[in-house]
Structure 1
Amino acid sequence: MSQEKLSEFVELAATRFGVPGVAVGVWANGQEMYACHGVTSVENPLPVDRDTLFVLGSVTKSFTATALVRLVEQGRVDLDAPVRRYVPEFLLPDEQAAAGITVSQLLNHTAGLDWRMDVETGEGDDALAAYVAKMAESDLIAPPGTRASYSQVGYSLTGRIIEKVTGLTYEQAIASLLFEPLRLSHSSFTTNEVLTRRFAVGHNHGEDGTLSVARQWKDSRANNPGGGAASSVADQLRWARFHLGDGRAQDGTRVLPTELLRLMTEPTVELRGSTLGDALGICWFLRDVDGVRTVGHGGSANGQFAELLLVPDRDFAIVTLSNAGPDGGLAFNRAAVRWALEHYLGVVDRDPEPLPFDDTRARDVVGSYENDLMTLTIATDGAALTIECGIKSAIRAATDAELPPDLPPADLGLLPGDGGEYIVTTGGLKGQRGFFTRDESGVIVAVDLAGRMFARVPR
């Protein structure tokens, strides 16, 4: 597949999905290829190139987990140890759970912690310490070790472990453990540093469909371990090649033993009905696509989306970065990954077909569901099911920050089988899969979307 074909696809797809700027990098057949299109901002446009920094969102978790594994290799952290060995001040309302949660449960999202906490702890070096202190007020969503549920909170706590063990701030530790030895010179957490480089800003669609710049560029400092890195497509492809390799940097420097790098991609817990994957390794989502094993992680910020996907058996990687909301940026990334898999590897990623609408089954799932930050509303008009996703109104009212817009209702289809699984078939979340959880009496008590659990609100 030629550079020309890649560039042609990227330009057409970015135009189709209305994304101001995109950057795509591919590693295939021992070669790097890049295709960049568009601009960093509709208000202050500069051409996007391979060194333009985008906010990575949750792809940052792969840095946090890999840095932690480096500390394991150095004998400074034990994956099976309780978190309190390293962060003795860690508290939860459930004392027994707080005492028993292990480091590995943070890394594979089985600690029972909620997705996020709506707290602000500032931009000082004590931001993570103050955030962890607030966890004393955060209830569990499930007993530790009983299920996987995606948790930003867990990765903030992991970042605090890194701080305590190294004696550095989280950001300094990641630079020392990863950015510097791997020569990721266009990767940073620091806004002041990013401002000296070419960087992309996020964009969201207004009610009239026009794009505007998202004024909150990235999340607060306490969320850096789970989503605060900014990086370029060239650095991300270098990062991908490191994880495809034997644990050495491109200059031959040994960063991790090969066996520990491979351990990160071994399944630790199965995932049910999730677009994210079939299982979780150490941070990584593991998924079989058309009979081929993939390893990856996605990320979202305010009006920006990132995707990193590896196919280890084919020595293949693709990185996509985009600067528009989910109906543009997320859709572009998904299309680019699927196109690359098919055209470079002959691997076709297909969505499952939903069942025809069934009014009885539909009414069983209708209702409101919520977690600490967001609300899902599932409704029916007697002919179709819809799902609507939005930030809680109380949280919007309590902040001066410009938060991403709520997503309009999209169609939802139930999938075959008795597992209560579904797929979103239209809108910005098109292709996202999830499932409903029932209690012992068969009543639906929760729904999972994008790996996150939302508890059903009593009617």
Structure 2
Amino acid sequence: MSYETAAEIAGATARRYGIPGVAVGILAGGRELTASHGITSIENPLPVDEHTLFQVASVTKTHTATALMRLVEEGRVDLDAPVSRYAPSFALADEEAAAQVTVRRLLNHTAGLDWNLLVDTGEGDDALASFVAKLAGHELIAPPGARSSYSQAGFNLLGHLLENVTGLTYEQAVASLVLEPLGLAQSFYRADDVLTRRFAVGHNLDADGTLSVARPWKGTRANNPGGGLVTSVSDLLRWARFHLGDGRAQSGERVLSAGTLHRMRERTVALRASSLGDALGIAWFLREVDGVRTVGHGGSANGQFAELLLVPERDFAVVALSNAGPDGIPCNRTIVRWALETYLGVVDRDPEPIPYDPARAREVTGAYENDAMTFAVGTDGTGLTLEVRIKPELRAACDTELPPDHAPFPFGLLPGDGDEYVITEGAFKGQRGFFGRDDSGTVTGVDLAGRLFSRVRATS
């Protein structure tokens, strides 16, 4: 496959979804190919290339986890130890539950922590310590180990653990343990490091459907461990090559053992009806696609989106980066699916929902919420819709602009017990989730993108 073909696909897909800039990377047969299209910003445009820096948001979690696994190999961290051993300031409303929050449970999102705390603890070196202090009194959404629920807060806590064990800031620790040994010279956390290089800005749709630059450009420092890395498609291909390899950097330096890399890709907890994967390893999402096992992680920032997918048994990887929301998600997904089918003959399809059933619809409609967002399930009598919004009180209390809410999305229930669903149209088409029930059969919550929303009101 030629650069021209990949560039044509990147350009056609970007135009289809109205994305200003896209970068694509493919690792196949030991060779790397990068292609790009468009511009970094509609206000201050520069051409996107393989060295353009994008925010990769939650893909950062794989870097945090890999840095931590170096400390595990060195005997400085025990995966099954309570996190309080390494972060003594960590506390919850339930002291007994806090003692059950282990390092491993943070790494595979089974600690019981909610999605995140929308707080700004500043840009100083105490940002993570202050964030962890605000977890005191926090209620868990489930007992530790009971279920998986995707948690940014959990990875921020892991970042503080890295600080305490190494005596460095989180950013310095990841640089010394991962970025520098692997030669990831285009990967940064600090805005000062990014602003002197070519970088993409995010874009969001205004109410009239036109794109505008997304502000703020980057999240708070306390969210760096779970989502703060800024990097290029070239560095992400080098990252993929390392995780598909034997634990050595391209320089020959041993960074991790091959056994530890394999261990990170082994199933630790199953996921139900999740588009993120069938299971979680250590930070990585594991999913079988058309009979082939894949390992990956995605990321969503303010108007910037990233997708990284590895196919270990084929020594293959694909990266897609885009800089506009909400359609950066389907843009990246389209590119990844094209690469899988073109290079490997692997076809990734969305599941088909069952016809609309009014009786089942009545069971699930209503209002749901978590700490940061509301989730409304409705019906017009012919189909189901869902709408996810950031809570108004959080918008009002936030000093900076938050990502926009989106119009309701149609979704359909899937065959089986009728509690699993798939979004059928819009930017989040193909996203899957499920409704949870108590022992009496009453719907008590809904999962989307690995996050739990508890039911607060049924539709009368």
> Normalising TM by the smaller chain, what interval?
over 0.9
Name 1:25's counterpart in structure 2: 25
CA distance in 2, matches of 1:266, 1:257: 15
* CA deviations over 1:117-159 (Å, ceiling 9, x no partner): 1221110000000000000032100000000000001000000
Deviation at 1:458, TM superposition (A): 2.9
Q: List per-residue Cα deviations over 1:67-107 (Å, max 9, x = no partner).
A: 00000011100001111111112100011011121100000
Whole-Å Cα distance in 1 between the matches of residues 215 and 350 of structure 2?
34
Q: Deviations over 1:285-324 (max 9, x none)?
A: 0000000000000000000000100000000000111000
Separation (CA, whole Å) in 1 of partners of 2:4 and 2:131? 47
Once the 2 structures are TM-superposed, how far is the Cα of residue 2 of structure 1 from its aligned partner?
Answer: 2.1
Partners of 2:16 and 2:283 lie apart in 1 by 32
Instruction: Give the secondary structure class of the aligned counterpart of 2:148.
Output: coil
Q: Look up the equivalent residue of 1:361 and give its one-letter code.
A: R
Within the alignment, does 1:333 sit opposite 2:327 as a pair? no
1:173-192 matches, cutoff 5 A: 173-192=173-192
Secondary structure of the 1:458 match is strand
Distance 1:277 1:45 in 2: 36
2:443 alignment counterpart: 444
Aligned residue number for residue 393 of structure 1? 392
Separation in structure 2 between the aligned mates of residue 138 and residue 344 of structure 1, nearest angstrom: 47
Q: CA offsets, 1:175-224, max 9 Å, x none?
A: 00011000101100000110011000000011111000001111100000
Distance 1:400 1:47 in 2: 32
Which secondary structure does the structure 2 equivalent of 1:132 belong to? helix
Task: Name the stretch that deviates more: 65-74 or 410-419.
Answer: 410-419
Aligned partner of 2:130 in structure 1 is: 130
Please tell me whether the aligned partners of residues 306 and 332 of structure 2 are also in contact (alpha carbons under 8 angstroms).
yes
| Structure 1 unpaired stretches of 5+ | none
Q: Name the residue aligned to 1:324.
A: 324
| Structure-2 separation of matches of 1:207 and 1:84 | 46
* 2:332 paired with 1:344: no
Paired position in structure 1 for 2:42: 42
Distance in 2 between the 1:357 and 1:101 partners?
41
TM (norm. structure 2) is 0.99
Distance 1:413 1:2 in 2: 39
Q: Name the aligned partner's letter for residue 215 of structure 2.
A: R
Q: Distance in 1 between matches of 2:219 and 2:107?
A: 20
Q: Does 2:49 align with 1:57?
A: no
Distance 1:419 1:186 in 2: 46
1:9-408 matches, within 5 Å, as 9-326=9-326, 328-408=327-407
Please tell me the residue identity of whatever aligns with 2:192. Answer: N
Query: What is the identity, as a one-letter code, of the residue corresponding to 1:197?
Result: R
Q: Name 2:432's counterpart in structure 1.
A: 433
Q: Distance in 1 between matches of 2:427 and 2:93?
A: 36
> How far apart in 1 are the matches of 2:21 and 2:160?
34
**Counterpart amino acid of residue 417 in structure 1:** G
Distance 2:160 2:438 in 1: 35
CA distance in 2 between counterparts of 1:387 and 1:371 reads 15
2:420 matched residue in structure 1: 421
Q: Deviations over 1:310-348 (max 9, x none)?
A: 00000000011100012x211110000000000000000
User: Residue 419 of structure 1: CA displacement?
Assistant: 5.5
Letter paired with 2:261: L
Is this contact kept in 1: 2:87–2:160, CA < 8 A? yes
Once the two structures are superposed, residues 270-289 of structure 1 have per-residue CA deviations (whole angstroms, 9 ceiling, x without a partner) of 00000000000000000000
Q: Which 10-residue stretch deviates more, 281-290 or 449-458?
A: 449-458
- Tell me, in whole angstroms, the C-alpha distance in 1 between the residues paired with 2:335 and 2:364: 33
Amino acid at match of 2:414: L
Alpha-carbon distance between aligned partners in 1 of 2:157 and 2:16, rounded to the nearest angstrom: 40
- Tell me the CA shift for residue 400 of structure 1: 2.3
Whole-angstrom distance in 2 between the partners of 1:229 and 1:63: 9
Alpha carbons 2:113, 2:153 under 8 Å: kept: yes
> What amino acid does structure 1 have at the position aligned with 2:27?
W
Query: Secondary structure at the residue paired with 1:408?
Result: coil
Distance 2:120 2:418 in 1: 38
The answer (yes or no) to whether the contact 2:21–2:40 under 8 Å persists in 1 is yes
Q: Which amino acid aligns with 1:222?
A: A
TM-score (norm. length: structure 1): 0.99
| 1:171 positional shift | 0.2
Kindly indicate whether the alpha-carbon contact (under 8 Å) linking 1:117 and 1:138 is maintained by their aligned counterparts in 2. no
Amino acid at match of 1:378: V
| Structure 2 residues not aligned, in runs of 5+ | none
Report the Cα distance in structure 1 between the residues aligned to 2:40 and 2:28, rounded to whole angstroms.
27
Q: For 2:281 and 2:169, how far apart are their aligned partners in 1?
A: 26
Secondary structure of the 1:187 match is coil
Q: 1:112 to 1:199 in 2, by over 3 A?
A: same
Residues 360 and 418, structure 2, Cα contact 8 Å, conserved in 1: no
Match for 1:457: what amino acid?
V
Which letter maps to 2:416? G
| Contact 1:421-1:435 at 8 Å conserved across structures | yes
Contact 2:67-2:178 at 8 Å conserved across structures? yes
> Is 1:385–1:413's contact at 8 Å kept on the other side of the alignment?
yes
Q: Is the 8 A contact 1:407 1:428 kept in 2?
A: no
Q: Contact conserved, 1:246 with 1:258, CA < 8 A, in 2? A: yes
Consecutive aligned runs of 4 or more in structure 1 exceeding 4 Å deviation = none
**Residues in 2 aligned to 1:208 and 1:46: alpha-carbon distance in whole angstroms:** 25
Q: What letter corresponds to residue 59 of structure 1 in structure 2? A: V
